[in-house]
């Protein structure tokens, strides 16, 4: 064989080897990096799914609060039953059960009780505020979120709530935060 042919053949084999695939170590490193990224991203993804489910409760409780305010304007009392609000939301979903709490002339509450213990509970309240000499009475609404998942929704989650007397101090109890 001629020397130039041998040189060209060696160049061809060397070039072909350089164009080869990945080594086993390179593939393992890539798989380990993907595994680490997945382990970091999965809990964040699951948390986002719970936040999306909780947004349902926030929206529905807000709708119930606004429905109570509208009902109060038309009827001089708050709605005693869920169906009286006529706002078109279900009383139960896969994640929450919705009810109206204490009813009366001066206030009403809306409760979102969790079905899935991984979710937070929500309580809404509408209270007739006592007017003053310069300000007419109006309704104020609030929305409280439990700070821990799986908490029970109850009228006691709100401070200053009283269905039988007007108040201007509607807030959230301990272990609940105002939204």
With respect to residue 9, please indicate whether it lies within any of the assigned structural domains: no
With respect to residue 89, please indicate whether it lies within any of the assigned structural domains: yes
**Based on the structure, what is the number of domains in the chain?**
1
With respect to residue 71, please indicate whether it lies within any of the assigned structural domains: yes
In which domain, by residue range, is 161 found?
56-178
With respect to residue 85, please indicate whether it lies within any of the assigned structural domains: yes
The per-residue pLDDT for 109 is 84
Mean of all residue pLDDT scores within the chain = 82
With respect to residue 117, please indicate whether it lies within any of the assigned structural domains: yes
For residue 103, what pLDDT band results from cuts at 50, 70 and 90? low
Asked if pLDDT for residue 136 goes beyond 70, the answer is yes
Asked if pLDDT for residue 132 goes beyond 70, the answer is no
The per-residue pLDDT for 60 is 93
Q: Backbone dihedral region of 114: left (phi > 0), alpha (psi from -120 to 50 degrees) or beta?
A: beta
With respect to residue 44, please indicate whether it lies within any of the assigned structural domains: no
Q: Which residue has the higher pLDDT, 99 or 46?
A: 99
Q: Which residue has the higher pLDDT, 2 or 58?
A: 58
Burial group, residue 69, by CB count within 10 angstroms (0-12, 13-18, 19+): middle
With respect to residue 151, please indicate whether it lies within any of the assigned structural domains: yes
For residue 73, what pLDDT band results from cuts at 50, 70 and 90? confident
Smallest Cα–Cα separation from 116: which of 97, 102, 100?
97
**Please, where are the H alpha helices in the chain?**
3-18, 24-75, 82-85
* DSSP 8-state symbol, 161: -
Asked if pLDDT for residue 100 goes beyond 70, the answer is yes
Q: Which residue has the higher pLDDT, 75 or 28?
A: 28
């Amino acid at each position: 064989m001629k020397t130039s042919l041998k040189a060209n053949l060696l160049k061809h084999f060397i070039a072909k080897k350089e164009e080869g695939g990945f080594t086993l170590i390179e593939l393992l490193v890539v798989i380990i990096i993907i595994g680490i990224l997945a382990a970091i991203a999965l809990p964040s993804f699951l948390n986002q799914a719970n936040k999306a489910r909780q947004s349902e409760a926030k929206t529905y409780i807000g709708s119930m609060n606004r429905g109570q305010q509208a009902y109060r304007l038309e009827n001089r009392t708050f709605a005693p039953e869920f169906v009286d609000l006529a706002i078109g939301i279900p009383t139960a979903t896969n994640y929450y059960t919705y009810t109206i709490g204490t009813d009366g002339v001066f206030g009403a509450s809306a409760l979102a009780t969790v079905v899935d213990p991984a979710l937070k509970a929500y309580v809404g309240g509408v209270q007739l505020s006592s007017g003053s000499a310069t300000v007419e009475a109006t309704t104020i609404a609030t929305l409280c979120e439990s700070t821990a998942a799986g908490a029970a929704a109850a009228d006691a989650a709100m401070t200053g709530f009283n269905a039988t007397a007007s108040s201007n101090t509607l807030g959230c109890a301990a272990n609940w935060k105002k939204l």
